[in-house]
Amino acid sequence: MDLILVAVIALGAIGLIAAVVLYVASKKFAVFEDPRIGQVAAVLPQANCGGCGYPGCSGFAGACVKAADAGSLEGKLCPVGGAPVMEKVAAILGLEAVASDPKVAVVRCNGSCENRPRVVQYDGAVSCRVAHATCGGETLCSFGCLGCGDCVKACQFGAIKMNPETGLPEVDADKCTACGACAKACPRGIIEIRLKGRVVKDNARRVWVSCVNKDKGALANKACAAACIGCGKCQKVCKKDAITIENNLAYIDPAKCIACGLCYNECPKKAIHASFTVPAPKPKPAPAEGAAAPAQQAAPKAAPAAEQQQQ
Amino acid sequence: MKTFRIGGVHPAENKLSAGKPIVTAELPKQAVFPLSQHIGAPAVPCVAKGDMVKVGTKIADAGGFVSAPIFSSVSGKVNKIDSIVDASGYRKPAIFIDVIGDEWEESIDRSETLVKECDLEPKAIVEKIKNAGVVGMGGACFPCHVKLTPPPGAVPTCVIVNAVECEPYLTADHQLMLEHAEEILVGVTLVMKAVNVNKGYIGIENNKPDAIKLMTEKAAQYPNIEVVPLKVKYPQGGEKQLIDAVIGRQVPAPPALPVSVGAILQNVGTMYAIYQAVQKNMPLFQRVVTVTGKSLANPQNFMARMGTPMSQLIDACGGLPEDTGKVIGGGPMMGKALMNTEVPICKGSSGVLIMNMTEAKRAEADPCIRCAKCVSACPMGLEPFLLATCSAKGDWERVEKEDITSCIECGSCQFTCPSHRPMLDMIRLGKSTVMGIIRSRSVKK
């Protein structure tokens, strides 16, 4: 009996001493953490995707608190939670939420099996990064999608899937949080995080060039039926100066684009894609009689383009 | 018989074109010269569209210290400066020359006479090699003059000639030794003089007894040059492996160079090119290429001008067989599958290998069974299965700690893997990523 008693007392005494030591230590060496960090972290989605540019949700929470001390939450956005979460974060920190436009991942390649015939077969490790380092890809286009699905593996939200028919990834805009993991995983920089665009009738309207081929027009054309050949027609038709052509490739600036669809209708290669059904171009009104003669003279050059537009 | 200490494998030799004399390949109709045929900065074109060039005219200048000039291998007119898909599978800038006749620069000595004496200063020899655009012709294409200019502090003690040709199928170096032994030996003396050493070794695997015999006979007149027969084992042609095999020294992990243990290595083809450059004023514009394959009608060794499309050489061997599965630039272990056969012969094209459908097909990868065969096979003493897995997972810190930068990409691990895992693919990815990280780190500092 004594033995048990001694043991209990001894252990109890050790426990008590340890508790006192720990208590003193926890008070003496306490590191102050802003309680708001914990509160902010609690409202974040805890996906830890890194899409905000910080290492995980707690990192982002810390950054938000720091930014709040500096006075503004500008530039801080949780792509997963979006505006509602940012409003909650702002409320905790006693600030106004900075409105930011939602974004979405966009695949800029339309080299489907039909458009871009396979000329060789890649049989190495199934990884876009390995394929990119090993060869130019299975087609004549050495810029386009390799189809090994690194972006699909990178997506934590199940928003990208490979379409077995086209061999290209497809983004589910509803699931996509624009965290940018896929864009980072793509060795060819095909995926771009773009502004979702103006919402009309529950549909965000955006227009983009679905090609990243920088080869000269003739080569790009040979490699892929849907390649941008840098002809510049879209640039001419754009009323907002949103289109630039660099290295034989058109790029539509999402900040300037109003998704009017003019370039979509103009592109002879159908390389420009839109997230909505673009209305067909209105047939040109019959020219007045006085202007008929010069218009007819210009006709031979304009005719092929007009035909393609109608197609 | 000597060989290297760690790892190694024994792939089937398949030296189909052994003993076939070197045939001079026909001139192409159009020669194409990619501007990056070597490691380092791409060359800068110094001709323009419409210019007339002769055989041996410089068409592109070196783009930096680690770079090499490019010389025309044909006479004719510059058609355009455009781009062509090279062995990397990507479109790279290149000079296109339409061939007209075969007119050589007058400075080139075209006679067959052997010139042994050279009264040039060591520096002048290196300068001449540099100006002739000579690069390592074993495949890596490292500019030759850089190797012959050791960094301060490193003292070369011997020159080792790599005549191992451990890649299966290839016989270019073997045949070159049989036909140009004397020239190669003069080349060795030139390099020995250039780096001021008095010992030269020629390492030859003993699957080439005729070459060993001939080189030993001819080397008898040079007391400082020793022919070292080596036991057959892949990858003996790797520079670190060859140093270990020949002089028994081990090169430390990068950034140490072979010269850190006193060795200057050059390929036997490079030695021939050095002889031509220094003694005959002939810049590097042709090389021996083995065109081979089991289904090919007539595998051969060619002396081909640079810029000749590979398809032309394949046609000269009886044309592309019907059951072709892969066309590989280089040997089967380290070569690269080509995107098309219009890829031109470059300074580093040691061979063109045509694999049939059955050979070319990669077996399906099974899970790793942890048998550690790859660990025993790795000539660098690495753990390939670990490097491959960590690279696939993107754990760059771990692979760096596991010395991934020491990997020589010989492919022994993948060759020996019973589960046919694509280890080398993953290791290459990891290695290039880690190299990038190391570079960016040194830039930040």
Preceding amide of B255 cis, omega within 30: yes
pLDDT of residue A32: 85
Residue A169 has pLDDT above 50, yes or no: yes
Which range (A72-76, A297-301, B3-7, B185-189) has the least confidence?
A: A297-301
Answer whether B334's CB lies under 8 Å from B410's CB.
Answer: yes
Residue A311 has pLDDT above 70, yes or no: no
The Cα angle at residue B228 between residues B224 and B234, in degrees rounded to 5: 140
What CA–CA distance (Å, rounded) separates B311 from B313? 5
Using DSSP's 3-state secondary structure scheme, residue A251 falls into strand
Q: Band of the pLDDT at B25, cuts 50, 70, 90?
A: very high
Answer whether B48's CB lies under 8 Å from B78's CB.
Answer: yes
Q: What percent of chain A has pLDDT over 90?
A: 32
Answer whether A150's CB lies under 8 Å from A132's CB.
Answer: no
Indicate yes or no: CB of B336 within 8 angstroms of CB of A134. yes
Indicate yes or no: CB of A142 within 8 angstroms of CB of B429. no
Over range B64-83, report the average pLDDT. 93
What CA–CA distance (Å, rounded) separates B35 from A21? 72
For residue range A70-96, list pLDDT tens digits in order: 878 877 888 888 888 888 888 888 887
Over range B28-56, report the average pLDDT. 93
Residue A115 has pLDDT above 60, yes or no: yes
Who contacts A206 (Cβ-Cβ below 8 Å, separation ≥6)? Answer: A104, A106, A194, A195, A196, A197, A254, A257, A259, A274, A275
Q: Band of the pLDDT at A300, cuts 50, 70, 90?
A: very low
Over range B281-298, report the average pLDDT. 93
- Indicate the fold that domain A103-298 takes in CATH: Alpha-Beta Plaits (3.30.70)
Indicate yes or no: CB of B339 within 8 angstroms of CB of A135. yes
How far does A149 lie from chain B, in Å, by closest CA? 14
The closest alpha carbon to A103, from A77, A84, A85, belongs to A77
Sign of the alpha-carbon dihedral angle for B103, B108, B110, B111: positive
User: For chain B, what is the HEC assignment?
Assistant: CECCCCCCECCCCCCCCCCCCEEECCCCCEEEEECCCCCCCCCEECCCCCCEECECCEEEECCCCCCCCEECCCCEEEEEEEEEECCCCCEEEEEEEEECCCCECCCCCCCCCCCCCCCCCHHHHHHHHHHCCCECCCCCCCEHHHHCCCCCCCCCCEEEEECCCCCCCCCHHHHHHHHHHHHHHHHHHHHHHHCCCCCEEEEEECCCHHHHHHHHHHHCCCCCEEEEEECCCECCCCHHHHHHHHHCCCCCCCCCCHHHHCEEEEEHHHHHHHHHHHHHCCCCCEEEEEEECCCCCCCEEEEEECCCEHHHHHHHCCCCCCCEEEEEECCCCCCEECCCCCCECCCCCCEEEEEEHHHHCCCCCCCCCCCCHHHHHCCCCCCHHHHHHHHHHCCHHHHHHCCHHHCCCCCHHHHHCCCCCCHHHHHHHHHHHHHHHHHHHHHHC
Who among B91, B336, B426 is closest to A142 (CB)? B91
Residue B398 sits at φ, ψ, to 5 deg, of: -65, -45
Mean pLDDT of chain B: 92
Who among B90, B361, B422 is closest to A124 (CB)? B422
CA distances from B166 to B3, B16, B242, B422 (A): 12, 14, 11, 22
Residue B73 has pLDDT above 90, yes or no: yes
What CA–CA distance (Å, rounded) separates B399 from B170? 33
Q: Which residues of B touch A (CB under 8 A)?
A: 85, 88-91, 336-337, 339-340, 361-362, 365, 392, 422, 425-426, 428-429, 432
In terms of CA atoms, which chain B residue is nearest residue A143?
B90
A-chain residues within 8 Å CB-CB of B88? Answer: 135-136
pLDDT of residue A308: 42
Over range B228-232, report the average pLDDT. 94
pLDDT of residue A51: 81
Which residues are paired to B336 by β-bridges? B329
CATH 3.30.70.20 maps onto chain A at 103-298
Residue A306 has pLDDT above 60, yes or no: no
Please check whether the domain covering A35-93 is classified as CATH 1.10.15: yes
Residue B411 has pLDDT above 70, yes or no: yes
Indicate yes or no: CB of B428 within 8 angstroms of CB of A133. yes
For residue range A187-245, list pLDDT tens digits in order: 999 999 998 888 887 788 899 999 999 998 888 998 999 999 999 999 999 988 999 99
Residue B376 sits at φ, ψ, to 5 deg, of: -70, -30
pLDDT of residue A285: 60
In terms of CA atoms, which chain B residue is nearest residue A133?
B429
How far does B36 lie from chain A, in Å, by closest CA? 16
Sign of the alpha-carbon dihedral angle for B379, B380, B381, B382: negative
In terms of CA atoms, which chain B residue is nearest residue A142?
B90
pLDDT of residue A80: 83
Residue B286 sits at φ, ψ, to 5 deg, of: -145, 160
Residue B246 sits at φ, ψ, to 5 deg, of: -85, -50
How far does B396 lie from chain A, in Å, by closest CA? 14
Over range A131-156, report the average pLDDT. 90
Burial class (CB in 10 A: 0-12, 13-18, 19+), B208: buried
CATH 1.10.15 maps onto chain A at 35-93
What CA–CA distance (Å, rounded) separates B343 from A234? 36
B-chain residues within 8 Å CB-CB of A120? Answer: 337, 339-340
Q: What is the largest CA-CA distance in chain A?
A: 122
Residue A153 has pLDDT above 60, yes or no: yes
Q: Which of A123, A138, A139, A148 to mutate to test the interface with B (most CBs of B within 10 A)?
A: A123
pLDDT of residue A284: 61
What CA–CA distance (Å, rounded) separates B391 from B28? 43
A-chain residues within 8 Å CB-CB of B90? Answer: 136, 142
What CA–CA distance (Å, rounded) separates A73 from A80? 17
Q: Which residues of A touch B (CB under 8 A)?
A: 119-120, 123-125, 127, 129-130, 133-137, 142, 215, 219
In terms of CA atoms, which chain A residue is nearest residue B423?
A125
pLDDT of residue A301: 41
Name the pTM for this structure.
Answer: 0.83
Indicate yes or no: CB of A130 within 8 angstroms of CB of B337. no
In terms of CA atoms, which chain A residue is nearest residue B365?
A125
Within a 10 A sphere around the Cβ of A309, how many other Cβ atoms?
Answer: 14
Sign of the alpha-carbon dihedral angle for A182, A185, A191, A195: positive
Over range B380-396, report the average pLDDT. 93
For residue range B104-124, list pLDDT tens digits in order: 999 998 888 888 888 889 999
For residue range B233-270, list pLDDT tens digits in order: 999 999 999 999 999 999 988 888 889 999 999 999 99
What CA–CA distance (Å, rounded) separates A252 from A235? 9
Residue A305 has pLDDT above 50, yes or no: no
pLDDT of residue A78: 85
Residue owning tokens 């399906």: B364
The closest alpha carbon to A116, from A20, A259, A220, A15, belongs to A220
Residue B214 has pLDDT above 70, yes or no: yes
Please report the domains of chain B, with CATH numbers, ordered by start residue: 25-108+283-357 (3.10.20.600), 122-280 (3.40.50.11540), 373-444 (no CATH)
Answer whether B184's CB lies under 8 Å from B275's CB.
Answer: yes
With b for 16 or more beta-carbon neighbours within 10 A and e for fewer, the A202-232 pattern comes to eebbbbbbbbbbbbbeebbbebbbbbbbbbe
Residue A9 has pLDDT above 70, yes or no: yes
The closest alpha carbon to B36, from B173, B131, B142, B172, belongs to B142
Radius of gyration of chain B (CA): 21
pLDDT of residue A309: 41
How far does B199 lie from chain A, in Å, by closest CA? 40
Over range B218-224, report the average pLDDT. 92
Who among B337, B339, B429 is closest to A133 (CB)? B429
B-chain residues within 8 Å CB-CB of A187? Answer: none
Q: What is the complex's ipTM, to 2 decimals?
A: 0.85
A-chain residues within 8 Å CB-CB of B396? Answer: none
pLDDT of residue A302: 41
In terms of CA atoms, which chain A residue is nearest residue B388?
A125
Q: Which of B339, B390, B393, B433 to mutate to test the interface with A (most CBs of A within 10 A)?
A: B339
Cα A267 to its chain centre, rounded Å, is 23
User: Which helix (H) or strand (E) segment is A64 a member of?
Assistant: helix A56-70
